């Protein structure tokens, strides 16, 4: 699985799930243990399976900074996949059909 993190002063200020690399070992958010961290998204909340990134060229990050407004756009295989903004956890993902603990619907 893959996540993106936004750091400020060595602290994580935003995070978002990008994709699973395998099926999660759990089927609900209620019975998660430390061993399950970091969390994969549940299959029934995913609208599309994203092929895992294989090289640096498969992912692109674009920043939009205007005064104190920062947005980070993450593209995988040239498709907008996720958006991070400081102090919004989790961030937004294009490939979820509802808000979950690891990604909000974009």
Three-state SS annotation for the chain: CEEEEEEECCEEEEEEEEECCCCCCCCCCCCCCHHHCCCCCCHHHECCCCCCCCCHHHEEEEEEEECCEEEEEEEECCEEEEEECCCCCCCEECCECCCCCCCEEC
- From first to last of its 106 residues, the chain has per-residue pLDDT tens of 999 999 999 999 999 999 998 777 777 777 777 777 788 888 888 998 899 999 999 999 999 999 889 999 999 999 999 999 999 999 999 999 999 999 999 9
* Per-residue model confidence (pLDDT) at position 43: 86
Strand bridging mode 69-76 / 79-84: antiparallel
* Per-residue model confidence (pLDDT) at position 77: 96
Other Cβ atoms within 10 Å of 45 Cβ, number: 18
């Amino acid at each position: 699985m893959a996540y993106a993190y936004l750091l400020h002063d060595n602290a994580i200020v935003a995070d978002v799930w990008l994709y699973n690399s395998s099926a999660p070992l759990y089927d609900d958010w209620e019975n998660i243990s430390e061993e399950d961290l970091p969390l994969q998204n549940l299959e029934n909340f995913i609208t599309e399976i994203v092929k895992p990134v294989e090289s640096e060229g498969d992912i692109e990050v674009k920043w939009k900074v205007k005064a104190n407004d920062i947005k980070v756009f993450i593209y995988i295989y040239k498709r907008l996949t996720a958006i991070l903004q400081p102090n919004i956890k989790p961030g937004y993902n294009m490939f979820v059909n509802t808000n979950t603990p690891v990604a909000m619907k974009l």
